[in-house]
Homo-oligomer: A and B are copies of this chain.
Amino acid sequence: MSNVNDHLDKLMQELRRGTLTIGVLSQLSEPQYGYSLVTMLGDKGIHVEPGTLYPLLRRLEKQGLLDSKWDTNESRPRKYYLLSKTGKEVYCLLVGEWMGIVDSLNHVIQQKGEEENGAD
């Protein structure tokens, strides 16, 4: 009910937007399946729920950034995803864009940011 904490949550969620894509692409230089990605990313501080990740994977595949193949040899069939050639290029460009955003944001943040700062 219009709580500040509530708004903060929304804001933070918005802030995270798009970053998950980079996170996923970054892990797919070698084939991974959905569940392993959830584990890997969670291990690196990027928590994502399966119900969020799977649609993202399919979206990226549909856009041609990922290739996928089913592995039915193992006990459970798993769908492995891998960066396509296009995906690699897009990933690089995306990282570049990300760096740019970080840069400009850091500029405006640092204008006022040394008054109460807990940087260690």
Q: Which residues from chain A sit less than 8 Å from chain B, CB to CB? A: 2, 4, 7-8, 11-19, 21-23, 26-27, 29, 41, 44-46, 63-65, 86, 88-90, 92-98, 100-105, 107-109, 111-113, 115-116, 118-119
Contacts and interface: CB of A to CB of B under 8 A. Distances in A.
B101 A113 contact: no
Contact of A26 (B26, B100, B112, B119): B112
Contacts of A26: 108-109, 111-112
A11 B22 CA distance: 9
Contacts of A86: 4
Given A65-B7, A115-B29, A44 B107 contact: yes
Contacts of A18: 11-17
B23 A105 contact: yes
Contacts of A97: 12, 15
